[in-house]
Every structure is written in C-alpha cells, then in structure tokens.
Chains A and B, each alone.
Chain A
Amino acid sequence: MITLCLATVAVVALPMVGSRAGGEAVTYAGDVAAILDRHCVLCHRPEQSAPFSLADFESAKTRARQIVKVTASGFMPPWLPEPGLGFAHERRLTTAELETLKRWAEEGALEGDPTLRPAPPVFALGWHLGEPDLVLTLDEPYTLAADGTDVFRNLVVKVPLTESRFVCAVELRPGNPKVVHHAVLFVDKNRRARVKDAADPEPGFGGMDLGEAQSPDGHFVGWTPGRVPLARCEERAWELPAGADLLLQLHLLPSGKPEPISPQIGLYFSKAPPTQRPFLLRIGSQTMEIPAGEASYVVEDHYTLPIDVDVLGIYPHAHYLARQMSGEALLPDGARQRLLTIRDWDFNWQDEYQYAQPIALPAGTQLSMRYVFDNSSGNPRNPTSPPVRVTAGARSTDEMADLWIQVLPKDAAQRPLLERDFLRRDYKQHLASLELAVREDPQSAIAHHDLGLALYLAGQDEPAIASLRRALELDPKMSSAHNNLGITLVRVGQVDEALRHFEAAVACDPQNANAHNSLGLVLRDRGELERAAASFQRAAELDPTHASAQRGLGGALVQLGRWSAAEKPLRRALELEPSWLDVEFDLGLALEMTHRAGEACAHFRRVLAQKKDPPSAERLAWILATHPDAARRDPADALRWARNLSSMATDESRAHALDILAAAQAASGRFPAAVASAEKALQLARDRQDATLVTAIEQRLAAYRANQPWSDARLAER
C-alpha cells in the first residue's frame, strides 16, 4: 500500500550493459553508449538541461577525458547523498562503469562497430504524465540577465479554480532548462505574494523569502535537472483550495547571455479526497549565528516522534555555507537508522529524496540532524569575501539549517496528535528566530512587529503589546503595527485604546483591508452598526477574498434589518469559509426575511447538522409549522424540532419555545395540546412583561381555540 506512490514515469527503456572480455578494446558502440544512455543522456541531449549533448559518438568522443574526470570525482551524475541510504531513483555509476569509461578514454575513445551500439533511448515528447487536467503559465516570461551570480525568482502563478481540487500529480516544465537549476512549487493560500509581485516591475519578485506561501500539505513538489515527475498518486493527493495562487520559486544560474524563461505547470486532479496524508517535519535551527571565519560551525537538533510513522522522503536544506549534513533516527530499542549523509553539500544540486522502501519508525524514536557550516574564506562557495558574520534567515546571504522529513502516520487518526505536538515545538523555534532578528537589528520596526505578532499568536498578550508599542515608537506610521496592537488590546479588554489604533491604522494606510475590518469589528461590538458596515464594506472592496470582512458586513446588515443587501456578502463569506455556522444562520435569516423561507430551511438544517443551535431550531420549526403554503409545511418535523427546542430552553427563551411548540402542535391538528402550550407561553410572556409577545400569542391562541392552525403570512414566498 505504502509503496504504491513511489513510481516515477518511465521515460526511457534501456537494455542491460554487456560485460566485456578483459583484453578487448573498450569501444563506444560496444560499451560506452549504454552507460551514457543509462546515466547521462536524459539531460545531455539537445534542447535539454545539460550544456552539451552526449547522445552520439562524436559528442561523447570530444568529452571523453572530461567524462572520466567528472564521474570519477562524483560531480556527475549529480547526486549528493552517500551510497547505501536506500533512496529510490539514485543516480550513481558502478565501479565497473567508471572503469569502462576510464579505459575508453585511455585507449583513444574508439567508436567500434556502430552496428553494436544499443538502440538509443526513446524519450517522451511533451508531458511525461500525459495531457494535464490544467496547464498553468505565466502572464509574461521572466528574463534572466546574462551575468552575475545565481538568482532566485519567485513567480506568481494564478489558478483559475472556482472550487477546491485534489492534486494527485504535478509536472513542472521549467521553461528554460539550461538556466533553471531547480524549481520548487508552493501554495499561496491568501495570495499575499501578489503584493510583492506588484512592487517589482519585472514578473515575480526576487529573493528566497516566500512570505506566507507553503509547500502543499505534507508534500514537496520540485523539479531538478534529470528528475522526472512522480506518477499520479490518488491516495496521496493534496488539496489546492479555490482562490489560492501557486508560487513557483526558480533558482537560476546565468548562462552568459540573457535568457527568457516561461515555465509551465501541469496539474493532474483526482476526484476523491486522499486516503493518506503525509506530514512534513522540520528539524534544525533558526537561530544560527555563525562567526566570520568559523570553519566548523555545528548545528544539531532532534525531535521525538509521538506516534508510529513511515518515513517516505527527506529534503535537506541549507544555503551556501553548509559542508556536511547528516540525519539519523534513534529507535526506542537503541537501534540507529541512518536517514541521510552528505559529505560535500552543494546548494546548486539540492534535491529531495524518496526512500525506495518507507522506513518504519515507532513512537518514541528520536529524529536528529547535524549540519556543519564553513564560513571561512577557505570555502569557495562562501558568497561573501572576506567572510562576514552570518545569521539565520531567508535571504541568500543568510543561512538555513533545515532537515525536512516526510512521514506518513501509521494510523491516520493519529495525525492530529503529531501535528499538534510538532507545531508546538516548531512554534517555539519560530519565536526564538524572531527574537534573534530583534537582537540583530534593535532599530527595526518590522522585526519588533513580527515578534509582537508571533507573541500575540502564542497568547502572550503583555509581551506582544510591548513589542508592538516598540515597533510604533520606531515607526509611528506602521499601519499593520497599529492594527495588530489594537487586536491585542481588544483581547485584554482595552477597547477604547484599540479603537484609536484601528483608526490610526486606517489613516496610515487607507488600503489596509485588515485594519478596516478590525475597525468594523470594534464598531459593531459598540453597536455602531452603520459605521461598522461601512468599514467592513471598505475592507471587502479592498480584498474581496477577505472572508472576515464579508462575514462582518453581512452580519451588520442583518442586524440593521437590511436583509436583501446582506445576502451577497454572506454568500461570499460562506464560499470562502464554508464552516462558518453563524454566517449560515444569518444567510438563512436573510432569506427567510426576503420571502425565501423554503431556501432558508436548508441553511438552518445545515447549522443543526453541525451543532445544537436553538436559534436555528426556532426558525426551522416555525417555518415548518406556519408556512402559508401547505406544501412547504412539515408538521411532524416541526414538532420534532419544537420539542427539541423546549428541552433546550432557558427561563428566558421558554415562552418563545412554547409558542413555537403550540404552533407545531396546531399544525399537526393537536389543538387541545396547542391551546395548553400557548396558555403556558402566554403566562410566561406576561410574567416577563413582554407585551409584543403577549399580543402575538393571544392572537394565535384564539386561532387554536377555533381549531385553526396559525399561518404566518410574512413567510409567503415571492
């Protein structure tokens, strides 16, 4: 079951390499072509990622000594991990193959009898996985400059999906394989990357910092030269939410001339949700401080698994200064399982690695990592000369020390346990990294702001307030700091001061949708519904995907009795957040009040399917009992909900609940019971001095006494 999804697509079928008698001369046709076909020509052929072809005799002959040199050193084929780790699709020449290549070059790179050359491999044209369900491209190509060091470009790829889909395979076509060294795909759920894109005149934006974008849930999706896409895997599909953008990060190496790049992303969808949801664990450090000149800076970290898992894959990540990397699992019985060893890390050939057989690890296993960084001038890959102190961060001049481990819980039901346990730990690391950023640059308002926000999210309100106030001392015009300080102040009950900060946030940046939304929330809670609605409206205009603003707007309009106007924002909010039951109820109410009681019932029922909700039960029972159209009444169901409601009623709501019960009983033709319930309701309403309810019940009581059910004319459908 577990190994089902390891297959890559077969792109090439090859015969086995024949062995050769010792005395005979090594030839291209008889010996070497098969080795090159097997290990090299997937990339080393015309129009592919490698800079030159090795697909025919002439091409191979003019590289004979170079082939020996780069294969003997291990530079080619590119594969960083040491042998023996059990990875699938490992790219490595055998000792015999290396020896054959060496002899061939030494003996003069002879062709031999061309008729002996095995049939050259046949490669797929077009998409390896067949025609995708959806092909995504950029609006315009990005052009890489001729010169300079490597470039990171993050390209926003818009996805025209109106509903969420399950992605069971992805094929990335880098667009210009000669200069794209690797590509990684991320999901930008809240489309925040568009802002950075807009601020940069060329397509996309530079750097390694991806903002909020994240790997697809539990998966790595990347492309490196020579890598073919993983085959469709319905069991492990991941969800791509409607409205999300994809963010494609390209690592580019200039070629010496300007290079246009037009990547394509092919998505393959499955119909059913996945049955297996892997989880990505990250161990490592976000608080490195590597002194200038330090040649052996060690980062170690570990994490103990709370549940049984299968390890599916591993993705080591660091920037230019890392030299050695290792990952290991220490099982509860004391056994050690090597997960990764890289002796000479090369950022340019980073990759993710899948195990040919998943590695089963029981709960209590300690996962550990150890990376060694060289920040001396003796490290030619050091991007800075002379070396400078380097700290943790996402810029290419910063360092990272992450070991991502893809695990599949043995028992899917235990995934939340792992998730909670891991995120708690990961969060502490995140906080530590933000504290480091503040120490590094105490005058940075952004650093204080980010720390304040993280502290707020961690529930540490007082330190959060201190950090956000500090951010505002450094930058009094920082709109997001005003907004986030206001939000934190609301939580500690200082609403008046919060309101002032929300007003300041809007004044500093009238385009800040979050700030308008916050202002709306506070105004609503103060009962200033008109102003609240205007603030929500502005937020929703600025960001139509702002679910909270749509919800706030719809809710305020419902409270104002502007039922028709409320419908649209409420529907939009539900599209964005289908789980919001309060919006479901408000929408039901808006529909009921605009003569669509039948449709309203569906929304009340949806709320009641999720939780016990007296207001929804009231509305549903009332409509089912009193709808003027007999076809839409359902006295039996009305009675069921009304009884249900009576059982949940409080002293305050009992009169109302009995009134509804009476209506349901009357609708069922049980008039004596209806009269009895209505009389009880009437007495309670009088006790509570609720004149409106008293009048209403008196009218209904008269009808029940005359053996007439009550019909609510207000509910007539239009």
Chain B
Amino acid sequence: MAACLGGCRSSGELPTTPNTPSAAPASSRATEGTDVAVAFLDETGAPRDPFATMNGPGLVLIFIRNDCPISNRYAPTIQELVRSLRPRGIDFWLVDPDPRSSCEEVRAHLQEYALPCGALLDPTHRLVARADAQVTPQAALFDRTGRLRYSGRIDDRFVDFGVARAKATTHELRDAVEALLEGRDFPSSSAPAIGCLIADLAPAAPVPGTSSPSPEARE
C-alpha cells in the first residue's frame, strides 16, 4: 500500500513529508470554481488537497462507506477504472463521508478490498457538497480547473436495492472521463446512483483553526 500514500496521483509522485500540514496549501489553479481550497486527512492521517495536487486533465472522487455493501461490491470495478484511467492522467481519490470513520479504519478497508488509491476523510461533507454526492457509491469528475463536470453513478449495474444486473450495460463515469480526455461534450449527471444515503450521516461540525478531528486548512 505504500504506493498509495499519495493517493492515485497520475504522476506517481510521492509527497516528501506526508505528515506535515505544510504539504497541504492549495495552489492557485486549484481554486477556480471553488470558494475555498481545503485539505482533508487521508488514510495515513496526512492532510491532502486533491485539487491542489491535481496536475493532469481530471480528478475523480468516488464516495464510499466502509459498511456499504454496494460500494464494497464496486471494489473490483474501481480497481479496473483506476488501472486503466490513471495512466491517462486522471487522479483518483476515494472519499469517506462517515464522520465516525478513523484513518485507521479507512486504511484497513482499503487494504481489505485491495483498493488501489488513497482515501480522504470528509466528516464535514465539504467534498460531498462540492461533488453533489447523494449516496455511496457515487462518482464525481472535475476538470483541471476544478470545475465539477459529472456527478452520478459509476455505471448502471444496480437498478435498485437488491436489484443488480449481471453486468453493467452503461458506464457513465468511464464515458465522462473518455469524453473529457477527448474534449467532447458529455452529460453532467446520470440516473440516480443506488446505494447508502449520505444524508443519513450527519456531518461533523467544522472546527475552524484545527486540523483534528475535523481537518480544514483554510487558505
């Protein structure tokens, strides 16, 4: 898992001092389309700003929850998406919106399901809001300016709770990424994603000026 310390950065570059808050400040180009740049703890406890560290054409956030059976069933799909799209310059981060999750739990979960990228803790749901995520699993695609270009399901495998196709017949996230890479237009949303409701997780109150337990590094 060492290669995942820095998340799924397309450059493969590892941060030199992963536990130093100074690694977190947002770069200016990541702030476009957002009101504020934010750093989040990753599964190692290091603060990360996925927008600041993005240096390719796109960033994918996938919202998951440790005990959500549907997002867990997507683990092999996520592995395949990361494996095929990271070499083409797309950054991947998983996002856990459960305020009760600890870094250790998230790290253990990544390992258990062999998830090949880093995960961010989002106890205050700032990433949830920015990505307009409703359920786990749900995906969001941002372009290099940090603008949200797609928010919706990964694919159409799940039709409802307990109703899954043998194989997905549409692949909305992959299609959106391909279109972004090729400069084509693409839909910004999909049919509602199926999964556990993020709204059931009351966000933790933001605590200004501290990075723990609710990390927010304001610029």
Contact = CB atoms under 8 A, between A and B. Distances in A.
**A, B bound:** yes
B167 A149 contact: yes
Interface string B51-74: 000000000000000011100111
Of A65, A66, A76, A149, the most chain B CB neighbours within 10 A belong to A66
Nearest to B76: A147
Contact of A146 (B114, B163, B166): B114
B201 A62 contact: yes
A630 interface: no
Interface residues of A, number: 33
A58 interface: yes
B72 A256 contact: yes
Contacts of A64: 200
Contacts of B202: 61
A381 B161 CA distance: 12
B196 to A, nearest CB: 6
A257 B197 contact: no
Contacts of A381: 163, 165
B72 A62 contact: no
Nearest to B161: A75
B162 A256 contact: no
B72 A255 contact: yes
A349 B162 contact: yes
A70 B98 CA distance: 20
Nearest to A385: B169
A76 B167 CA distance: 24
B200 A254 contact: no
B75 interface: yes
B181 interface: no
Contacts of A52: 67-69
A69 interface: yes
A117 interface: no
Interface in A52-99: 52-53, 58, 61-66, 69-70, 73, 75-76, 78
A61 B166 CA distance: 32
Nearest to B195: A66
B166 A51 contact: no
Nearest to A58: B100
A578 interface: no
Given A64-B200, A257-B112, A380 B163 contact: yes
Given A63-B196, A66-B200, A257 B75 contact: yes
B114 A384 contact: no
Nearest to B99: A62
Contacts of A73: 160-161
A63 B200 contact: yes
A348 interface: yes
B219 to A, nearest CB: 31
Given A66-B197, A70-B161, A380-B159, A149 B166 contact: yes
Contact of A62 (B75, B76, B98, B114): B98
B199 A75 contact: no
B113 interface: yes
Interface string B107-140: 0000011100000000000000000000000000
Contacts of A69: 161, 197
A383 interface: yes
A565 to B, nearest CB: 59
A668 B161 CA distance: 88
A164 B200 CA distance: 55
A111 B200 CA distance: 14
A108 to B, nearest CB: 9
A251 B161 CA distance: 18
A37 interface: no
A308 interface: no
Contact of B199 (A65, A147, A346): A65
Interface in A648-694: none
A147 B159 CA distance: 18
Contacts of B76: 146-147, 256
25 contacts: A52-B67, A52-B68, A52-B69, A61-B200, A62-B98, A63-B196, A65-B197, A66-B200, A69-B197, A70-B161, A73-B161, A75-B160, A109-B200, A149-B166, A149-B167, A254-B73, A346-B162, A346-B163, A380-B160, A380-B164, A380-B165, A382-B165, A382-B166, A383-B166, A384-B166
Counting from the closest, the 5 A-B pairs by CB-CB distance are A147-B76, A256-B75, A51-B69, A380-B159, A256-B72
